[in-house]
Amino acid sequence: MSEKRKPSGFLLKQRAFLKLYLITLTEQERLYGLKLLDVLREEFQPFGYRPNHSEVYKALHDLIEEGILEQVKKKKEGMKYQEVVYYRFTEEGYKKAQLYKRQLKTELDRCEALIRKAIKDNFS
Amino acid sequence: MSEKRKPSGFLLKQRAFLKLYLITLTEQERLYGLKLLDVLREEFQPFGYRPNHSEVYKALHDLIEEGILEQVKKKKEGMKYQEVVYYRFTEEGYKKAQLYKRQLKTELDRCEALIRKAIKDNFS
DNA sequence: GTATGAACAGCTTGTTCATGG
DNA sequence: CCATGAACAAGCTGTTCATAC
């Protein structure tokens, strides 16, 4: 009775989108959860997109389960006691991350094409 | 306890996307449910998107509830008995539809910008 | 088999709660 | 207050069932 469902292939999901950004941000700079959320919200604010904290944490946890990232618990800079969770690539993780990014590039190109088609088909 | 949830403003939903196409197709040519589905599937097939029949019906029903479209039950061309449901704009519907399309144009532009930003941010 | 529609079930995601510093 | 995480619940969407021709 419980079958797995095949997605119709509409636009990509928020979770995948966030995972892509989290990989790229990890390549650039080591940050922790809520700080990543801040950065993302600021980046997307002009685009009317405001992710919530749970989605970011779940995306990070997904990347851990896939063996791409691992946690590093550290004291927050300047704080004596506040411990926060930073992320870095695992041994195998960077290679896996590059593969994931290549897949997402294809997916983003597809979505862009779909949206451009809709603009063309409905507004020309 | 049951609050309405505020969307985070990620990409537009499939339902809205289909409603836009159904309005435009109704402007161009009068068709019925499953035929509209055929047309849409053929259009999107190169883009890996294959909507299912329920989503198309639900989108049509939404447009009826919003007072944009109405049903016209007719015999299928060449068929004596097979009755199918065609759609046309209501009296007020065409004006409402143009408003909806203007809103969707803004939304599609926003989504395109978001995707282009993601490509730029993650693949440059 | 084609067509329409509703009911159901699974997936996605936003809100709330719990714990700790 | 900030930070992390899990539990919960609402919303979206794919599959199945029912009805009719």
CA nearest to B8 within chain A: A50
> What's the confidence (pLDDT) of residue B1?
52
pTM for the model stands at 0.89
Q: Is A84 exposed, middle or buried (0-12, 13-18, 19+ CB in 10 A)?
A: middle
Is the pLDDT at B7 greater than 70? The verdict is: yes
- Whether B24 contacts A122, CB under 8 Å: yes
CB–CB contact B49 A9 (8 Å): yes
Query: Tokens 């049509």, residue?
Result: B60
| B9 contacts on A by Cβ (under 8 Å) | 47-50
Count Cβ–Cβ pairs < 8 Å, chain A vs chain B. Answer: 101
> What's the confidence (pLDDT) of residue B31?
86
Helix (H) or strand (E) holding A9: none
Q: Kindly give, in sequence order, each residue whose CB lies less than 8 Å from that of residue B65, ignoring residues fewer than 6 positions away.
A: none
